[in-house]
């Protein structure tokens, strides 16, 4: 009887071939993702698909489109929550929104929005500060299936207790229940929050800027990239911000604001909230 050795590590050469194949045949560029991330994700994808390192993985992925897309999705880690890192939302409320409130209209970009909880949190915050109507939120990710979930805005009810705690810590002014309807074991985010959000497929590794923004939020995404790609994406954000625009990178990134060409004012060191200045 054949014994499958699911735990054996994939060779570096096969990994490189596989990543190149995903780029050349399927248009997804993971060449500058962090190697340790790629290795971990491919190993777990092999086990899930009952494949071993001795199978001709590259040939299988070349032939089987569904298998290739399951691997592509494997590189998308979409863990998120509402009002994640509440003190960050509190600082946005206190330091960013008062400036945005002075503009006639506001464009916000959530890059790597996953299933959308972060985006609805922002919409709630903007609503409470009285500026949601003049804001357009562009929420993007390269993974279409998480975007589909995000646009529906339907989430499990059992998460709401944790999200309510986060919401109050973030300076929430009402009850979180004001912003969704309950249906059996799920909650559905209110239409008034959805109407100013545009959900779109955008790949930070390959796609260009698509607008000029007053505020860009990109948290827990750059950690999966190598330094070269992190820098490239920071430059993309830099080009995409208006003068005096704001950017928030969150507390898990180890990078500094080096990719941002202009001088920046640091509004929150821990959560990496910066405002560009252009002197
Ligand atoms: C851990 S989630 C972060 C969600 C949210 N920003 C947060 O902090 O709660 C990372 C998301 O980044 C997305 N992502 C990874 N690489 C990307 C790329 N090249 N372009 C766009 N999105 C990407 C993944 O698909 C995933 O949904």
141 CB less than 6 Å from ligand 1? Answer: yes
Residue 1 confidence (pLDDT): 40
139 CB less than 6 Å from ligand 1? Answer: no
Residue 53 confidence (pLDDT): 76
Residue 81 CA: nearest ligand 1 atom is: 9
Q: What is the pLDDT of residues 130-177, one digit of tens each?
A: 999 999 999 999 999 999 999 999 999 999 999 999 999 999 999 999
pTM for this predicted structure: 0.94
Residue 97 confidence (pLDDT): 98
149 CB less than 6 Å from ligand 1? Answer: no
- Mean pLDDT by groups of 10 residues along the chain of 279 residues: 53 92 97 95 92 86 96 96 98 98 98 98 98 98 98 97 98 97 97 98 97 98 96 95 96 79 87 85
Q: What superfamily would CATH give domain 86-277?
A: Vaccinia Virus protein VP39 (3.40.50.150)
Residue 3 confidence (pLDDT): 44
CB 205, CB 231: distance < 8 Å: no
Name the segment(s) of the chain with CATH classification 3.40.50.150.
Answer: 86-277
Q: At what angle do helices 160-169 and 117-128 cross, to 10 degrees?
A: 40
| Closest residue by Cα to residue 199 from 250, 154, 133, 136 | 136
| Closest residue by Cα to residue 58 from 13, 17, 26 | 17
Residue 8 confidence (pLDDT): 63
Residue 77 confidence (pLDDT): 96
Residue 6 confidence (pLDDT): 47
CA gap 32, 228 in Å, rounded: 7
Find the 8 Cα to ligand 1 centroid distance in Å.
28
């Amino acid at each position: 009887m054949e014994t499958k050795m699911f735990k054996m590590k994939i060779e570096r050469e096969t990994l490189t071939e596989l990543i190149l194949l995903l780029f050349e045949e399927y248009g997804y560029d993971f060449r500058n993702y962090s190697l340790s991330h790629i290795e971990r994700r491919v190993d777990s994808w092999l086990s899930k698909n009952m494949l071993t390192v001795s199978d001709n993985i590259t040939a299988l992925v070349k032939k089987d489109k569904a298998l290739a897309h399951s691997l592509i999705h494997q590189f998308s880690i979409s863990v998120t929550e509402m009002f994640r890192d509440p003190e960050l939302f509190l600082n946005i409320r206190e330091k960013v929104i008062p400036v945005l409130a002075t503009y006639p209209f506001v464009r916000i970009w959530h890059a790597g929005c996953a299933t959308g909880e972060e985006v609805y949190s922002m919409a709630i915050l903007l609503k409470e500060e009285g500026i949601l109507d003049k804001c357009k939120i562009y929420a993007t990710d390269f993974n279409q299936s998480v975007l589909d979930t995000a646009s529906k805005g339907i989430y499990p009810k059992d998460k709401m207790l944790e999200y309510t705690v986060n919401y109050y810590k973030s300076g929430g002014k009402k009850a979180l229940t004001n912003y969704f309807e309950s249906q059996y074991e799920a909650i559905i985010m209110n239409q008034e929050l959805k109407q100013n959000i545009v959900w779109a497929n955008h790949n930070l590794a390959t796609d260009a800027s698509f607008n000029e923004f007053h505020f860009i939020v990109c948290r827990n995404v750059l950690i999966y990239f190598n330094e070269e790609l992190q820098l490239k994406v920071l430059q993309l954000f830099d080009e995409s911000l208006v003068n005096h625009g704001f950017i928030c990178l969150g507390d898990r990134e180890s990078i500094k604001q080096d990719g941002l060409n202009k001088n920046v004012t640091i509004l929150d060191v821990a959560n990496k909230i910066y405002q560009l200045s252009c002197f």
